[in-house]
Structure 1
Amino acid sequence: MQMLDLIRRKREGQALTPAEIEAMIQGYTAGTIPDYQMAAFLMAVYFRGLDRKETAALTRAMVASGERIDWSSIPGVKVDKHSTGGVADTTTLVLAPLVAAAGVPVVKMSGRGLGHTGGTIDKLESIPGFRVQLSREDMVRQVKEIGLAITAQTGKLAPADGKLYALRDVTATVESIPLIASSVMSKKIAAGAEAIVLDVKVGSGAFMPDLESARKLARIMVDLGREMGRRVVAVITNMDEPLGMMVGNALEVREALNVLRGGGPRELREVCLTLGSQMLLLAGAAGSNKEGRRLLENLLAGGQGLKKFQQFIAAQGGDPEVVDNPQLLPQAGEQVTVAAPAGGYISAVQARLVGEAALLLGAGRLTKESPIDLAVGIELKKRRGEYIHAGEPLAVFHVNDRTNLEAARERFLAAYTLAPEPPAPQPLVYEIIK
């Protein structure tokens, strides 16, 4: 195989064989194919795309580049949920204990936040003492005991994807749909989940800016999962505005606790119930979406989801007292109110800009090595469609370092559009693709 020939053929829109793609991924992982050639190939893919057969071959090759985890010793259908990334998206912290409380084992590997999107592992680390690194043996034991374990992703799973993603990040090829699909599915398949619910975000705070792109990505990922023997459903959800009302790691843990108590924002709770009912369906724990939803609503009302979250915290070394006393979570030293500059109906909230404002406060990271402040973030006071008076609080910033405070305020206010009339309502869930 000559890499130059593969670049040229893909540049001209020709299809590569599975054997060629496998050899290319093996060579790149081993270091025999240099970054500059792979960068040229990625750019050719960005413009020419990959067909379904090529995308499946790329996914298989990335899975084969590292270790694969087998959870077959754990009884039941193991389910996982993956989000394509958003702002105030605290669904995993609600769903994992809630679905486990329904008797479905949840064994999950999660990542850290990067850029304007948050990461489940960072949120969990805001719980005092919580361990985010578990051995495979510890995970198996814990899931057998309480039905739930979450650990940080390891570089041994699909290492080719890690190398490719880092290269895509610096070559403006992140948005390629077949590359996104193969990246997501290679990690999920290598991580051993038997059933996967994909939360495909669409809107101003998502990778997919429009519904048609989100549909295309969702269909490709569902097809990839089916071809590789997995049960997969994709739910396309709205990320035009932040899903919850808290943006920031400890703040989002606090909001997840509110939802598990039966409260919290209606929008976050609704998306959690939709995703959770699909997880129960895939696992065979519910016969219909309506039945699954009713089961989850009963578990929320009865407090079983909250109790499971407390068990989960204790099992991974965290302080279970945070469930009853959220004040034990990290708290910022200062709260700064951000007032509305004018009055009107909130007609749009650009989620990405809100996430970037939280990033400027220190709640996120620009690189994977950047430190973050687990206590800081943004507490939203108003949602799209609500009326706000001039001078009324739009949000409260939780701040430890004022260095970028004004820049964060400017970025945050730029996210909001005010109008004299209320906007038309938008759906939270656009479509479910099976």
Structure 2
Amino acid sequence: MATEAFSTVDIIRTKRDGGILSDEMIDWTIDAYTRGAIAEEQMSALNMAIFFQGMNRKEISRWTHAMINSGERMDFSGLKDTTGKILATTDKHSTGGVGDKITLPLAPLVASFGVAVPQLSGRGLGHTGGTLDKLEAIPGWRAALSNEEMFAQLAGAGAVICAAGTGLAPADKKLYALRDVTATVDSLPLIASSIMSKKIAEGTGTLILDVKVGSGAFMKDEAMARELAETMVYLGTDAGVNTVALLTNMDTPLGLTAGNAIEVDESVEVLAGGGPEDVIELTVALATEMLAGAGITDVDVRGALNNGQAMDRWRQMIIAQGGDPDVKLPVAKESHTVYAQAEGALLKLDAMDIGLAAWSLGAGRARKEDSVQAGAGVRLHVKPGALVRRGQPIATLLTDTPEKFPRAIELVEKAILIGSDTDRADTRLILGRIVAK
């Protein structure tokens, strides 16, 4: 048996006692854990030590790079369109929320300006929805593409939304599964390095981060969300990726839908020049940042939603991955409407409760291996700030399994807060912008 460079117990003790892990310690730890030389219980102990003691920026940066180096990196530097023109690449990552369908209209919108968007996405877990689950509501659409298929689609349609390959940052996949069962998911250094290891390994030139804050977000506190955003911007910039973050409000679901097929329908409305104003506002803001990172400014981003150019790219993308952009999407078999019990201003529509309601109706999963219902979810009829009257519809619940209604109704009723019309709901969407200092 080969002699290991470090003692795992010594590394755990160093961090447990508030010490700084050296570059060599970190490199060895990630490599040894990936190849099975560090036991699960030992890595659990180290994760917990990091949870309580934290990491400085140098440690987080090295931890991130060690996870990147555990697998392959994608290289889009020679990517060309069908005319032979070299394409700049840009990507977006959201930390997750309720009704967050922004990737769907955003990728084709940015691609319509001649910038390639390789968007490697994931599936939903718990109250947050997954982009791949939404798109799989389109019959025939497939998430798994080979690298060759991905490059061909980028050259043609200019954008691709697909599942990340297993070769990118495999250490992160193994570490995340362990954090999930050891109550160490919500550690800022481990969150930042988990997200950024995969995003840097994806190899795009520009990365825009949508860091959610509020009830339905992973980060409930704005100061913590800002610290996470600053850390990730630093990690991306340090790795040579042009990185910017927007802090956005997730106290209220985005748009008027939380589910799968119903979110695709809403995204298509946005691409057709309609749809909810908050979805349009965030899509345009993120697209503007992505294009600026690729050197494209002074263009009419919102106009591209109105004139059909973004819709054309969407249709190309869906067809390229086996879907039919004109097909009628699945519709839930059963529905139930929740009505306002009072009159006044809708002050709150809690994103977490709406997300949990959609999840409980079948739109999400409790475990990675669970299936989802394409038609399940919650359709909202009003948003905070609106005046409502008693008996007015607030939300419609959708599912194939009506026995799920009681719990979902309870959650939606809990989400609603109606007050006097002199009160004001906080309807701000973009709370801040973070760039490298």
Specify the TM-score bucket, using the shorter chain as the normaliser.
over 0.9
Q: Secondary structure at the match of 1:82?
A: strand
Deviation of 1:155 (Å): 2.1
Partner of 1:284: 295
Partner of 1:48: 53
Q: Secondary structure at the match of 1:53?
A: helix
Q: Structure 1 CA distance, aligned partners of 2:52 and 2:158?
A: 44
Q: Structure 1 CA distance, aligned partners of 2:339 and 2:432?
A: 36
Deviations 1:288-316 (A, max 9, x none): xxx24xx2112112111111101111111
Deviation of 1:403 (Å): 2.0
Amino acid at match of 1:396: T
From 58, 62, 65, the equivalent of 1:60 is 65
Deviations 1:390-429 (A, max 9, x none): 2211111112101221011101111122212432434210
Q: Structure 2 CA distance, aligned partners of 1:220 and 1:76?
A: 28
Q: Structure 1 CA distance, aligned partners of 2:41 and 2:341?
A: 48
Q: Secondary structure at the match of 2:19?
A: coil
Q: Secondary structure at the match of 2:395?
A: strand
Q: Secondary structure at the match of 1:345?
A: strand
Q: Secondary structure at the match of 2:355?
A: helix
Amino acid at match of 1:404: K
- Aligned alpha-carbon RMSD (Å): 1.1
Partner of 2:204: 193
Q: Secondary structure at the match of 1:371?
A: coil
Q: Structure 1 CA distance, aligned partners of 2:366 and 2:420?
A: 37
Q: Secondary structure at the match of 2:403?
A: coil
Matched, 1:105 2:116: yes
Amino acid at match of 1:371: S
Q: Secondary structure at the match of 1:404?
A: helix
Matched, 1:258 2:274: no
Q: Structure 2 CA distance, aligned partners of 1:183 and 1:39?
A: 16
Deviations 1:44-69 (A, max 9, x none): 11111000000001100110111111
Amino acid at match of 1:433: I
Give runs of aligned pairs for residues 27-426 of structure 1, distance below 5 A: 27-74=32-79, 75-286=86-297, 291-292=298-299, 295-322=300-327, 328-421=328-421, 422-426=423-427
Q: Structure 1 CA distance, aligned partners of 2:413 and 2:372?
A: 23
Q: Secondary structure at the match of 2:93?
A: strand
Amino acid at match of 1:104: V
Q: Which runs of 4+ in 1 moved over 6 A?
A: none
Partner of 2:431: 430
Larger deviation, residues 381-390 vs 270-279: 381-390
Unaligned runs of 5+ in 2: 1-5, 80-85
Greater share of helix = 1
Deviation of 1:252 (Å): 0.3
Q: Secondary structure at the match of 1:71?
A: coil
Unaligned runs of 5+ in 1: 323-327
Deviation of 1:344 (Å): 2.6
Q: Structure 2 CA distance, aligned partners of 1:415 and 1:94?
A: 27
Partner of 2:28: 23
Q: Structure 1 CA distance, aligned partners of 2:291 and 2:206?
A: 10
Deviation of 1:156 (Å): 1.8
Deviation of 1:167 (Å): 1.3
Q: Structure 1 CA distance, aligned partners of 2:128 and 2:283?
A: 18
Q: Structure 2 CA distance, aligned partners of 1:343 and 1:157?
A: 52
Asked if the contact 2:334/2:402 (under 8 Å) is kept, the reply is: no
Amino acid at match of 2:118: V
Larger deviation, residues 350-359 vs 387-396: 387-396
Amino acid at match of 1:390: R
Amino acid at match of 1:116: H
Amino acid at match of 2:56: D
TM-score (normalised: structure 2) = 0.95
Amino acid at match of 1:387: L
Asked if the contact 2:344/2:420 (under 8 Å) is kept, the reply is: yes
Task: Give % identity.
Answer: 48
Larger deviation, residues 85-94 vs 345-354: 345-354
Q: Structure 2 CA distance, aligned partners of 1:40 and 1:429?
A: 38
Partner of 2:82: none
Deviations 1:88-125 (A, max 9, x none): 01110010000001111111211011110111111111
Q: Structure 1 CA distance, aligned partners of 2:430 and 2:389?
A: 30
Partner of 1:325: none
Q: Secondary structure at the match of 2:296?
A: coil
Q: Secondary structure at the match of 1:155?
A: coil
Q: Secondary structure at the match of 1:149?
A: strand
Q: Secondary structure at the match of 2:402?
A: coil
Q: Structure 1 CA distance, aligned partners of 2:427 and 2:264?
A: 26
Q: Alignment length, in residue pairs?
A: 423
Amino acid at match of 1:307: D
